Amino acid sequence: MHQSKSSSESITTNSLKSNNWDVPAWAVIFILLAGALHLYIPYPLDSDTAYHNAVGRLIGEHGILQAFPWTPFSWLSDHYADKELLFHLLFH
C-alpha cells in the first residue's frame, strides 16, 4: 500500500511539473500569433482602430489637439478634450 501511495504522489508531482509551463507556453504562442497578424495586415480592420491610429498620427504631426475641426457642427470642433490621450500617444 505504501508503494501505491508514493507512485500516485509521483504521478501528481510529474503532472503538476508539466502543467507549470502550459500557461506561459500558450501565452507566448498567442503573443507570437497576434504579433504576426499585426505585422501581416498593413491596415486597420475596423473603423475604431483606424480612428485611434489617425488621431495618434495627428498628435505626432501637430502636437496635442485642442480642436477637432472634422466635426464642424459639434461642440468638439472648438473644445476638443482627448479622453484617450495616453492611448493615442502609443500610436505616435
For the stretch 23-59, pLDDT in tens is 999 999 999 999 998 888 877 778 888 889 899 999 9
Q: Which amino acid is at 58?
A: L
- Comparing CA positions, the residue from 10, 9, 7, 88 lying closest to residue 50 is 88
CB 82 within 8 A of CB 91: no
Q: Where in the sequence is the domain holding 30, given as residue range(s)?
A: 1-42
Q: Distance (Å, rounded) from C-alpha 46 to C-alpha 68?
A: 21
Mean pLDDT score, 8-35: 78
CB 51 within 8 A of CB 87: no
**Do residue 2 and residue 24 come from a single domain?**
yes
Looking at the predicted structure, is the pLDDT value of residue 70 above 90? no
**Do residue 29 and residue 57 come from a single domain?**
no
Q: What percent of the chain has pLDDT over 90?
A: 29
Domain count, the chain: 2
**Do residue 12 and residue 29 come from a single domain?**
yes
**Do residue 22 and residue 64 come from a single domain?**
no
**pLDDT, the chain, mean:** 82
Q: Distance (Å, rounded) from C-alpha 61 to C-alpha 81?
A: 17
Q: Distance (Å, rounded) from C-alpha 54 to C-alpha 43?
A: 11
Q: Residue 7: what pLDDT?
A: 58
